[in-house]
Amino acid sequence: MSRTNSIARRASIDPSADVALAKMGYQSELPRNLSMLSVLGMSFAIMAVPFGLSTTMYITLTDGQSVTILWGWVLVSLISLCIAASLAEICAVYPTAGGVYYWSAMLSTRKYAPVASWVTGWLTLVGNWTVTLSINFSGGQLILSAISLWNEDFVPNQWQTILMFWAVMLICMAVNIFGAKYLDLINKICIYWTASSVIIILIVLLSMANTKRSGEFVFAHYDASQSGWPSGWAFFVGLLQAAYTLTGYGMVAAMCEEVQSPEREVPKAIVLSVAAAGVTGVIYLIPILFVLPEVKLLLEVPNGQPIGLLFKTVTGSAGGGFGLLFLILGILFFAGVGALTAASRCTYAFARDGAIPGSRFWKQVSKRFDIPLNALFLSTVVDCLLGLIFFGSSAAFNSFTGVATICLSTSYGMPILISVLRKRKAVKNSSFSLGRFGYAINIAMIFWICLAVVLFCMPVSLPVEAPTMNYASVVFAGFATISLVWYFIKGRKSFTGPPVPVDVAPGEQIVVPGMGVIDSKHERNGDMEQKVLKESSSGNGHSSGIDGEKLH
């Protein structure tokens, strides 16, 4: 795209979002060409409900079956809706690509802002990378499982699985590079493809099934005998299926700098996508439970992806099974592309503040493609390398889903926790306020996230052997070590958290239309040590004008 066209495109939109971004310390480098519907589509794509529920079905078939599958989904959907609303409330105040790590810094006191943003940022970064990894890895497995519809003796070896995973990653990367200007359209198509797929699968399964389960089985059957866990605990371990599927909604905060009126549109997209995903999941799961074949047969599928066999068994033919599986693979395409887009933007935003080794290189935006190309390459390479864990553990996918869920959940919890500790001062003027229910919702979500961290380090079933171990805690600890080492090498000396304009006076408040009050770096939401400074400067008529050349 020529420079002239790029300037013309920028000039044709409302510049207030770029002005607001400048007042938060950043220059706008990415085109604002995404709509609210597009961001909703991306969030919906990353969650990829039919795909996510299908690829993790072995978890709930082991840990409780119908009750865990259906009611576990309903429970986690309600919890996720509350977390999404809590994040949306904060996003309406600070709409930047930094997302939760920026929020943690601005909600903290001046003293703790750097460490809060560093911890949250690394959790977010690893969560973005691993959720992309888990989506595309399970996608590679699902593609290979299609072969077994015709050849039941086919069992893909480790190299075939890894190579297929790499192929899926490279396709998603290529779409992000060469189809960048079509991402808005791609994200919107995802909504229609997913809705159509769910309806088609529902009709085909219910009309072609020779036998159907009873209503009692669908809504009340509980059997955790395959898990080895105590009966009640197995239900909670099985919640990983729903929690993993419903975990990507906060990632789209990274798209704030590519949306017009982000303080209004992105919070709406975050909450609506979770609500839409919850309803879609119920509509998808109920017909599957009504036509569910013998559970033991499904759990014996060699590569752990039983959905293809389920479709084949119900339709009575390999062709029919593949036809339905193709719809799920279409959702994989949207999920993989959307997750990699969000991961690259998250990497770019974190590198922009110097928190990643080699930040100067990773934060560059390609003038040719109008995307953070280097950050996209880094995200792709990291995921491709992490996929090699599969050579050491046949349960690698379970580890990927676990660490993705843990990292994203804890990264969502950090700004919510800080906001509660600071008595929710920063969000009292949010255009997406939770009102009087804010404290109760925030605190309940913090307790859930603490429980989730414990739950999702658990193996799906007992007894545990080395190949079937859940290595989520190991992957989590590995990245934590990298983060800690880099913090002591460079972070503690040079990382000060997200920037604010240097020409804003100490303690001066910046009022941005439609947003809450943003305090300068010298005083984050009422630091006590700066109260006197603020009072003494309030009558001096400080200018809050922003000079783009003076941005940190």
Question: What percent of the chain has pLDDT above 70?
Answer: 87
CA angle 311, 237, 116 (to 5 degrees): 115
Non-local (6+) Cβ contacts of 279 within 8 A are none
Top pLDDT among 332 and 511 is at: 332
C-alpha torsion 345→350→351→352, nearest 10 = 90
pLDDT at position 201, please? 96
Question: What percent of the chain has pLDDT above 90?
Answer: 47
pLDDT at position 516, please? 43
CATH of 41-493, one of 1.10.287.180, 1.20.1740.10, 3.40.50.1220, 3.40.50.700: 1.20.1740.10
pLDDT at position 13, please? 54
Q: Mean pLDDT, the chain, as a whole number?
A: 83
- In degrees and rounded to multiples of 5, residue 223 shows phi and psi of -145, 105
Q: Confidence band (pLDDT; 50, 70, 90) for 16?
A: confident
Mean predicted confidence (pLDDT) in 326-352: 92
Q: Quickly list DSSP for 280-335.
A: HHHHHHHHHHHT---HHHHHT-TTS--HHHHHHHHHTSHHHHHHHHHHHHHHHHHH
Top pLDDT among 41 and 515 is at: 41
Top pLDDT among 264 and 413 is at: 413
Measured distance CA(549)–CA(400) in Å, rounded: 42
Segment 172-181, tens digit of pLDDT: 999 999 998 8
Mean predicted confidence (pLDDT) in 467-471: 74
| β-sheet bridge partners, residue 223 | 64
Which segment, 48-62, 103-117, 347-361, is predicted with the most confidence on average?
48-62
Selection from 339, 355, 466, 344 nearest residue 401 by Cα: 339
Helix (H) or strand (E) holding 60: helix 57-62
Mean predicted confidence (pLDDT) in 528-543: 41
Local structure of residue 96 (DSSP, 8 states): S
pLDDT at position 14, please? 57
Measured distance CA(374)–CA(388) in Å, rounded: 22
Selection from 414, 106, 134 nearest residue 247 by Cα: 134
For residue 352, the Cα-to-chain-centroid distance in whole angstroms is: 20
Q: Cα-atom radius of gyration of the chain, to the nearest Å?
A: 23
pLDDT at position 263, please? 84
Segment 193-213, tens digit of pLDDT: 999 999 999 999 999 999 999
Which segment, 34-43, 248-257, 442-451, 540-549, is predicted with the most confidence on average?
442-451
Selection from 321, 323, 299, 296 nearest residue 310 by Cα: 321
Measured distance CA(49)–CA(26) in Å, rounded: 34
Non-local (6+) Cβ contacts of 266 within 8 A are 36, 39, 88, 91, 95, 252, 253, 255, 256, 259
Q: Is the pLDDT reported for residue 524 higher than 80?
A: no
Q: Confidence band (pLDDT; 50, 70, 90) for 126?
A: very high
Q: Which two tokens stand for residue 455?
A: 């739950």
Q: Confidence band (pLDDT; 50, 70, 90) for 159?
A: very high
Top pLDDT among 531 and 417 is at: 417
Q: Which two tokens stand for residue 252?
A: 């789209």
Mean predicted confidence (pLDDT) in 96-104: 83
pLDDT at position 515, please? 39
pLDDT at position 537, please? 45
Q: Confidence band (pLDDT; 50, 70, 90) for 503?
A: very low
Q: Is the pLDDT reported for residue 509 higher than 50?
A: no
Mean predicted confidence (pLDDT) in 85-111: 87
Non-local (6+) Cβ contacts of 122 within 8 A are 355, 479, 480, 483
Q: Is the pLDDT reported for residue 281 higher than 50?
A: yes
pLDDT at position 11, please? 37
Selection from 252, 223, 244 nearest residue 235 by Cα: 223
Amino acid symbol at 398: N
Measured distance CA(302)–CA(151) in Å, rounded: 13
pLDDT at position 526, please? 43
Q: Look at residue 514 and give its three-state secondary structure.
A: coil
- In degrees and rounded to multiples of 5, residue 314 shows phi and psi of -70, -45
For residue 87, the Cα-to-chain-centroid distance in whole angstroms is: 12
Mean predicted confidence (pLDDT) in 274-288: 95
pLDDT at position 29, please? 72
Which runs of consecutive H residues, i.e. helices, occur in 353-471? 359-362, 373-386, 396-421, 438-455
Length of the chain, please? 552
| β-sheet bridge partners, residue 366 | 371
Q: Which of 302-316, 317-331, 373-387 has the lowest mean pLDDT?
A: 302-316
- How many helices (H) and strands (E) the chain has is answered by 25, 2
Q: Say if strands 509-510 and 518-519 run parallel, antiparallel, or are unpaired.
A: antiparallel
Q: Which two tokens stand for residue 16?
A: 């207030």
pLDDT at position 507, please? 39
Measured distance CA(493)–CA(502) in Å, rounded: 19
Are the beta carbons of 88 and 16 closer than 8 angstroms? Answer: no
pLDDT at position 83, please? 95
Measured distance CA(113)–CA(105) in Å, rounded: 4
Q: Is the pLDDT reported for residue 292 higher than 60?
A: yes
